[in-house]
Amino acid sequence: MTDTPIRVAVVTGASRGIGAEIAKALAEQGRHVVLMARNVEALDAVQGQIHASGGVATVIPCDVSDHQAMADAIESVYADHKRLDILVNNAGITRDNLLVRMSDDEFDEVIAVNLRSVFISCRAALKPMMRGKWGRIINISSVSAVVGNPGQANYAASKAAVTGLTKSLAKEMAGKNITANVVAPGFIETDMTTALPQRVKDAAIQATPLRRFGQAMEIAAAVAYLASDTAGFTTGQVLVVDGGMTMA
Ligand code: NDP
């Protein structure tokens, strides 16, 4: 009998918030987790927490909006480990403004981080996954993509496009034992939502049947399922984790 290999997982935006919890959850599953984001000190802290819990993690500082750097970072993971099994595209930003006032830069920046980086990293990760004959890609979208949100035309467009990209990829890779799925969070307590005005937070809670914000670990649990060995029959799906906000 051969030992099951330690699978290697890349998580972008792993320096805080949802990404940090995803990295910890994958480490708990026994994955070697590669942590990517820009803030090296914060990445080191997450790595320290994973090591303290008995997990294994490596830090690769990377600005995902620098698309060559993103591709190089993914390639270096394969060069170092000779495998890449799981890719979680979680890094994301908002640059909210009403569309009538939105600048080209506010639109382009969001597309570069939230969408184009996902295309670049998926393309770079597919070759190692195909070589390994196994892969799990999980892209983080948002309920904004499902229902729209005033002030978030750029963000909602980027997240809706991530869903289209993921479903197309799932169909392309279905014969290769590589799954691709989306997790779409509702309002989650992180730096991204802390900055929201209180009236927006109150309205979000009112619109959420469970009457609270979600916790980052509740998104991480959904990602950990989709990354698991037993999730191999689930592909091209959008798993909405939003306290019931968008239930049909
Ligand atoms: P945070 O703002 O708390 O964290 C964002 C993460 O993305 C950080 O780790 C940040 O790292 C990283 N990041 C941002 N820009 C870049 C960049 N250019 N290059 C590399 N990394 C980058 O956000 P959340 O944890 O709340 O969000 C995580 C994901 O979940 C995002 O895709 C977001 O759109 C999505 N989401 C969040 C919701 C929420 O309510 N919080 C709701 C729906 C979706 P660093 O600054 O170190 O580079």
Residue 232 CA, chain-centre distance (Å), reads: 18
Average pLDDT of the segment spanning 218-228:
98
Q: Is the CB of 90 under 6 A from ligand 1?
A: yes
Please state, in angstroms and rounded to a whole number, the distance separating the CA atoms of residues 139 and 219. Answer: 12
Please state, in angstroms and rounded to a whole number, the distance separating the CA atoms of residues 128 and 105. Answer: 34
Question: Is pLDDT above 70 for 3?
Answer: no
Between the CA of 4 and the centroid of ligand 1 the distance, in Å, is 32
Q: What percent of the chain has pLDDT over 70?
A: 98
Average pLDDT of the segment spanning 221-232:
97
Active site residues: 155
Tell which CATH architecture fits domain 8-241.
3-Layer(aba) Sandwich (3.40)
Q: pLDDT by residue (tens digit) across 131-181?
A: 999 999 999 999 999 999 999 999 999 999 999 999 999 999 999 999 999
Taken as a whole, the chain contains a residue count of: 248
Q: Taking the domains of the chain in order of start, what are their residue ranges? A: 8-241
What pLDDT does residue 195 have? 87
Q: Where residue 127 falls among pLDDT bands split at 50, 70, 90?
A: very high
Q: Which atom of ligand 1 is nearest to the CA of 214?
A: 40
